A and B are shown apart, each in its own frame.
Chain A
Amino acid sequence: MKIEITSDPLDPRALEERVSHQSCGAIVTFVGLVRDHHAGRGVTALDYQAYPAMCAKVGVAVGDEIRQRWPGARVALTHRIGSLTVGEASIVIAVASPHRVEAYEASRYCIDRIKAILPVWKREHYVDGEPTWVSNAEFTPEDPA
């Protein structure tokens, strides 16, 4: 799976067109959006940072995992970096597959894996208080503090 990292606004339709294929009867598209709150605090904006060269390698690995589990599935992923405001899309994942069940399952698997291992970081800006780098629940460090 080719992962695209971009500072431009995301276009879900473009990803759907990329995975679309005559063999596939379903596309499931996941869009992650910037939300106006986190853990009870008002959020005004997010900054995303990435390690692009490694994102490409993680994309290949996760793409291989998905193809092994759901043969015939076709996946594309774009993650936005830089400064985003509330309501903007931070990630789009499009999965096409011969039948809908595989597309739903592979989409869920993909976003969970991405949250655990894709080298991308998020800093939240709040209505009140200092901006903070925040962790996904899926992140599992080798030596938990």
Chain B
Amino acid sequence: MLVTIHYFASLRDRKGKDLEQLEIEGQPTLRELYQQLFPPQITPPPPPVLFVQDEEYVTGDTPVRDGAELAFIPPLGGG
């Protein structure tokens, strides 16, 4: 299935881009997809995140929806 992923802050710096379309295999959850894209064992370790699907916060256990717009939300600094 095809998804669109937004990258922000340190995740954008790591990826070198703010947005990408990705063809993914199987039926991963958002947490599984995050761990595929940013493996926990890399250095420095990826940040803890909140999960977003179609501009709504969801739990990491949520299955990725075909055609979804996804974002992984690293530590927030607004205000």
Given A51-B6, A51-B71: A135 and B77 within 8 A (CB)? yes
Looking at the assembled complex, report how far the CB atom of A71 sits from the nearest CB atom of chain B, in whole angstroms. 25
- CB contacts (< 8 Å) of B55 on chain A: these are 53-54, 57
Q: Is the CB of B76 within 8 A of A117?
A: yes
Majority SS at the chain A contact face: mixed
Q: Is the CB of A121 within 8 A of B71?
A: no
CB within 8 A of A142: which of B12, B45, B49, B79? B49
Interface centre among A79, A120, A144 (most CB of B within 10 A): A120
Q: Is the CB of B77 within 8 A of A134?
A: yes
CB within 8 A of B48: which of A53, A90, A138, A141? A141
- CB contacts (< 8 Å) of B49 on chain A: these are 141-143
A120 to B31, CA, bound (A): 21
Q: Is the CB of B78 within 8 A of A114?
A: yes
- CB contacts (< 8 Å) of B64 on chain A: these are none
Q: Is the CB of A90 within 8 A of B79?
A: yes
Q: Is the CB of B48 within 8 A of A144?
A: yes
- CB contacts (< 8 Å) of B71 on chain A: these are 51, 54, 119
Q: Look across to chain A and name the residue whose beta carbon is closest to the beta carbon of B55.
A: A54
Quick check: is B10 within 8 A (CB to CB) of the other chain? yes
Quick check: is A100 within 8 A (CB to CB) of the other chain? no
- CB contacts (< 8 Å) of B8 on chain A: these are 49, 51, 119, 121
Quick check: is A109 within 8 A (CB to CB) of the other chain? no
Interface centre among A91, A111, A119 (most CB of B within 10 A): A119
Q: Is the CB of B77 within 8 A of A120?
A: yes
A-to-B contact residues, CB < 8 Å = 32, 48-51, 53-54, 57, 79, 90-91, 111, 114-123, 133-136, 138-139, 141-145
A sample of 25 cross-chain residue pairs with beta-carbon separation below 8 angstroms, ordered by A number, consists of: A49-B8, A49-B12, A51-B8, A57-B55, A79-B78, A115-B79, A117-B76, A118-B79, A119-B52, A119-B71, A119-B78, A120-B78, A121-B74, A121-B75, A123-B77, A133-B9, A134-B75, A134-B77, A135-B76, A135-B77, A136-B76, A136-B78, A141-B50, A141-B75, A142-B59
